[in-house]
Amino acid sequence: MTKYLLWIALAGIVFWLLRKSRAARSGEPRPPVEREVEGMVKCSYCGVNQPMSESILTAGRYYCCAAHRQAAEADSKVG
Ligand SMILES: [Zn+2]
């Protein structure tokens, strides 16, 4: 009985080690800087770069703040 349990534990450890080594080989850690740059967008009004999640998307254009979105809308109405 004790021998049986020992073999199960051993098999479990081997399986776990195989999975661990396979994951380490296939999964390369991505540099966080690249992801940050990927998510950066330019404000259509002032041209400042900032994360996409923090900017406002209106009619396919990004703005850094609501004030610039309104200003751009006002400009397009006048011009
Ligand atoms: Zn802006």
DSSP 8-37: HHHHHHHHHHHHHHHHHHH-PPPPHHHHHH
Could you say which DSSP state residue 52 is in?
Answer: G
Q: In a 3-state reduction of DSSP, which class is residue 41?
A: strand
Local confidence band at 30 (pLDDT 50, 70, 90 cut-offs):
low
SS3 42: strand
Q: State the distance from the centre of ligand 1 to the C-alpha of 64, rounded, in angstroms.
A: 4
* pLDDT confidence of residue 29: 66
pLDDT of res. 2: 81
pLDDT level of residue 9 (50, 70, 90 thresholds): very high
Cα–ligand 1 centroid distance for 31 (angstroms): 28
Kindly report the pTM of this predicted structure: 0.50
